[in-house]
Structures are given as C-alpha cells and as structure tokens.
Structure 1
Amino acid sequence: MKSHENPLFCDIALGERIERAETDFIAAGSEAALRRLGGDDGFVIRLAGGVACRTEAGSPLNKVAGLGFAGVPGADELDAVERRFADAGAPVQVELAHLADPEVGAMLTARGYRLVGFENVLGRPLGGVPSEAVPSGIDVRHSDDTDFGQWVDTVVGGFARPDAQGLAPHEEVPRDVLERAVRDLTAAAGMRRYTASVDGAVAGGAGMRITRGIAQLTGAATLPAYRRRGVQSALLATRLAVAAEQGCDLAVVTTQPASQSQQNAQRRGFSLLYTRAILVRP
C-alpha cells in the first residue's frame, strides 16, 4: 500500500487518542525525573485532560501537553499552573494540537502566550500493511540493560547534532539535561530500545513505546558519520514490524516541519495527521 493512494485521515477522535498517549508518556517521564531529583520544586499537574510538568531547568519535559480535548481549563486552573512555573523561574510552554478546541488557543493568546514554533505528528496504519525489509548491510537488534549506557550515548549523540534540513527546533537542550530526560522517559514509560550497526560499529539508536494499540516511535538518531546510509530506514522497519506483531493498529511519530525525519517517514507510508503549535508565556 502506498501512502498517497490511501492516506490516513485523522479526525478529532484519533487526534485525542494520540494526544492522550503523549500526555501519559510525558507525565510518566516527568514523575521519574522528580523521583530522581527529590525536593519540591518540580510538579506534575493534571489539567483539563492534559498535563503540566516541570522537572529540572532546561528539560524538554517542561511543558503543558494534551489540552483541548476534555474541555477548556478554567482561568483559576491556569493561574495556579502559571504561578508554579513562575515560582520555578521558568516560562510556560504549551504544545497545542490544531485539532484541539479553538477556545483553548484563544484563551492562551489572550493571556500573553506567543507562538514560537510547530511540530508535526505523522501516523501510519499497521493492520494489513506488509512489513518492510531492513536495508542490507545494517543490523538492528533489541537493546537490553547490558548496553543501556551505550544506547543513551548513541541516541543523545545523534540528537545533539541534528540534520540541517527543515525548520530548526525552537530551543536547544543541553546535552547533559537531554541525556537525563532520555533516561527518565526510558525507565518510566516501558520504552523498547533498538540499536543499529553498520559493519559491526554502532551507528544509531531508536525507541518505541506501545500503549493502547499505538506504537509511539519516540525518536531515532543516527551518528553523523553514518547518515544517508539507510540507518533510519532500518530502525523504522524493525519497529513497525514489532508493533504489528504486538497487535498495534497505528504507529505515530513527531518530527520538525520539513525535516529529513518527516521526509523519511512520509516515504514509508506515514501521513501528516496534525500539527502542534508551540506557545510560550515568558
């Protein structure tokens, strides 16, 4: 099946399903980070079907996610969340799906939030879709606890030097902070880890979380020396095959707009489902 012949259509119900999975993922990683950090500066607050999280300074987990599918948050609820971020000396960042209730976006902009960027959510159905072969010359294996450190180093090393194609992320995360966030998400959310090797040398790594029939492809990174050699394709093919074997009906991935990652995903049957606007209140 080619994606342009039968692209996946995303209605509001499917958007809500994906955003719920994302909300639980962010909350689980944040709760793990708070257990590691101790103290009382951080928080995980459920908010109108979404979640507001603050862990450590500069963490990609510091955000409000999942709003707009379970009613509009009250002004007093937002006041309380904004005070918690302000007490921590941090801005409030909201990732808002364009399928969410438009009233949420209107409320946020009225409160001084400004648009700083976008990210795209792509999806591909898995039921009845034939699996793809892993490109020759690349070996992909499941990564276990014995090489967890190497897997983290590989993934973080790839993320630290992103591909130049497309729009750049709106923020840069320090490498040590990113590494701790990856460890927290992996430990807390039941992420499956995969390592790709070329000629016996580790070339890339990727993760996948399975929840409620959704395979969340939680990021893949290739070390710069091995890019443009099919490593991403191999990691993707392996994860899709495992997800289908586990009974998932949907795979999703989040990318920067117009990036190499988005292009790779669309070449392999993924459709652009919706966009998240990134809104920040200083």
Structure 2
Amino acid sequence: MIGDRIPLFCDTALAERIERAEAQLIARGSEAARRRDPDGFVLPIAGGVASFAEENSPFNKVAGLGFGGVPTTAELDEIERAFGARGAAVQVELAHLVDPEIGELLSQRGYRLASFENVLGLSLQSGREPSAGPGIEIRLSGDDEFQAWLDVVVDGFAHPDAQGLPSHEDFPREIIGNAVRDLTTAAGVRRYIALRAGEAAGGASIRMADGIAQLTGAATAPAHRRRGVQTALLSARLADASAAGCDVAVVTTQPASKSQQNAQRQGFDLLYTRAILIKQP
C-alpha cells in the first residue's frame, strides 16, 4: 500500500484486456487508412492483429500478440510475406506476460530486439473531477481546429524531453495527421486541446472501450512546458473516462522517460513491459 492507495496489480486477465483494446485500436485505424491506400491489411494472429496501413504509418505492426496462444509457423509465414511484399519490416510489440515460447520462436525466425515500452495503469473510481492550474483551459477539440491541434501536438513530439530511453520510431508529420484523423473517425478517439494565456499550449487524446481508457497521446509545446499543461490534460481525460464508466486508464511510455515519471506522480503504476521485436524484409 502507498499511503492509503493500493497499487494496481496487473494479472494476465487485465493485460489481455489492455492488449485486446490496443489491437482493436490499431485494427480500426488501419482499416480507415484503406481509403487512401487500399493495399493495406489487417490479419488476426494469436489473439492480436497484424496491420499495415500505409508507408511509414504507426499502425504498421503486430499488436496484442500472444493472449490467444502461440502463433503457428503458417501464420507467421503469411504475415511476413504480407509485410515483405510491401517492403516493410515486421514489428512485433510483445507483452512480457505472454508465453515465453513466443519470444523464443520469434528469435529463431530472425527477429531482433529493438526497444522496450512500458504500459502503466490507474484504477478509476467514479466521481473524479477535472482540475487545471491558473490560466489553463482544457476542452474538447473539434474538427474546425484540427490543424491547430495537430500543429501543437507534432511540435511537442518533435521536441521530446531528453530523459529516459529514446523512441526507435519517428513518423512524418503528414502520416501523424493521417493516423489521428483515422483514429478519430474509426476508433472513437476524442481530442483535447489546452489553452494557456489564449494560446494553444498542448493537445491530447483518449479512446474508451470495454472499460479501458486508453490515453493515446499527449504533447505540450516547448514554450509552455513546466506550467501544468500535461497534468491538466490528464486530469480532464481521467474525469471523462470515470464519468463514462471506465475502470482502468492506461498509458504507454518510453522507459524512464519524463512521461513515465509524470504518470507515476499522478498515481499510475507500472503494469508490464512490451518488447519491440523487428524482422527486416
């Protein structure tokens, strides 16, 4: 127990719920992307999905793998052929709570460890109220200001805090915009904007499904950092998730990053780690 709070414990059942929500998110975003690139695909595999949306997309990955058993050789062959035909590497995000046989199998097939990411969670109770510091306003962001929202988010991502392990991924601005639009229209992602002194200071998003509130990204413009913008964006999203009946909020961060530190300060607990395994075409 930490103070009067019991840390959230993650068993395999909770991890499966979270990974299933992640796989659904990726699948729906990828399916929406087919409006631009009909050459994309979404294939089921061992409880997860293999997805290719378009070149350089953050949806090009295998997500949620392993909570439906160990993938067969035939399934992996099919997926590797599908990615290879598009000149893309296969990236697998593998939770450490799945059967270790999967990691051994992928290593034997030539997958190499590229990075890690942490999944943190917070148990939600009803009645949460949003809070924001002086001069900060948080509200839902509509389509009429999508470009302003995107500008501040991309600007924030382009200037990450130099703490923790760096991300192995870097996406073009146009692709980020495509992905966010796809998630908003096809996966029910809500966008929030933070205003400070009348300026767009930060942006964030959330998806709520099956009781899981996925915090799908947040960024603060460099000129507005260390002013409570991130905390206010988080507070607003958690209050909305609580009101919608979600029982768990989750966020993915780079290990030892400022984002992880901020999340843990807000009561999030480290639930599990995903290994990022990549096989070149």
TM (norm. structure 2) is 0.95
Q: 1:25-79 deviations in whole A, cap 9, x for unaligned?
A: 00000111112223x3x21111111100112221111100111111111101100
How does 1:69-218 map onto structure 2 within 5 Å?
69-127=67-125, 130-131=128-129, 133-218=131-216
Aligned to 2:54: 56
Cα distance in 2 between the residues matched to 1:233 and 1:263: 12
Aligned-pair CA distance for 1:163: 1.6
Q: What is the CA–CA distance in structure 1 between the aligned matches of 2:130 and 2:85, rounded to whole Å?
A: 50
Displacement, 1:179?
2.0
* Equivalent-residue separation in structure 2 for 1:273 and 1:23 (angstroms): 17
* Inter-partner Cα distance in structure 2 for 1:206 and 1:75: 39
Report the Cα offset of residue 149 of structure 1.
Answer: 2.3
The answer for unaligned runs of 5 or more in structure 1 is none
Q: What pairs up with 1:221-232 in 2 under 5 angstroms?
A: 221-232=219-230
SS at match of 1:251: strand
Residue in 1 that maps onto 2:257:
259
Q: Answer whether contact 1:2 1:269 (CA < 8 A) is retained.
A: no
Task: Give distance in 2, aligned partners of 1:135 and 1:35.
Answer: 41
- Cα shift readout 1:147-173 (whole Å, capped 9, x = no counterpart): 122212222221222221111001222
Matched-pair contact (CA < 8 Å) for 2:126–2:245:
no
**Closer, same or farther: CA 3–194 of 1 in aligned 2, 3 Å:** farther
Letter in 1 for 2:112: R
Mapped partners of 1:27, 1:4: distance in 2: 39
Give the TM-score normalised by the residue count of structure 1.
0.95
Give the Cα–Cα distance (whole angstroms) in 2 for the partners of residues 3 and 266 of structure 1.
14
The reply on whether 1:245 has 2:243 as its aligned counterpart is yes
* Comparing 91-100 and 150-159, the one that deviates more: 150-159
Go from structure 1 to structure 2 and tell me whether the alpha carbon gap of 1:2 and 1:199 turns closer, same or farther (over 3 Å shift). farther
- Alpha-carbon distance between aligned partners in 1 of 2:187 and 2:3, rounded to the nearest angstrom: 30
Which 4+ runs in 1 deviate beyond 6 A?
none
8 Å CA contact 1:3–1:270 kept in 2: the answer is no
Question: Is 1:235 aligned to 2:236, yes or no?
Answer: no
Change in CA separation of 1:2 and 1:220 when aligned onto 2, cut-off 3 Å:
farther
C-alpha distance in 2 between matches for 1:173 and 1:13: 32
**TM-superposition CA deviations, 1:188-228 (whole Å, max 9, x none):** 11111110011111100000101001111111011111111
Q: CA deviation at 1:2?
A: 5.5
Q: Do the aligned partners of 2:128 and 2:243 also contact (CA within 8 Å) in 1? A: no
Match for residue 7 of structure 1? 7
Q: Does 1:33 align with 2:33?
A: yes
What RMSD, in angstroms, separates the aligned Cα atoms of the two structures?
1.6
* Secondary structure of 1:52's aligned partner: strand
Give the Cα–Cα distance (whole angstroms) in 2 for the partners of residues 94 and 220 of structure 1: 23
Name the CA distance, whole Å, in 1 between partners of 2:153 and 2:263: 18
- Higher deviation after alignment, 132-141 or 191-200: 132-141
> Following the alignment from structure 2 to structure 1, what is the Cα–Cα distance between the partners of residues 257 and 29?
25
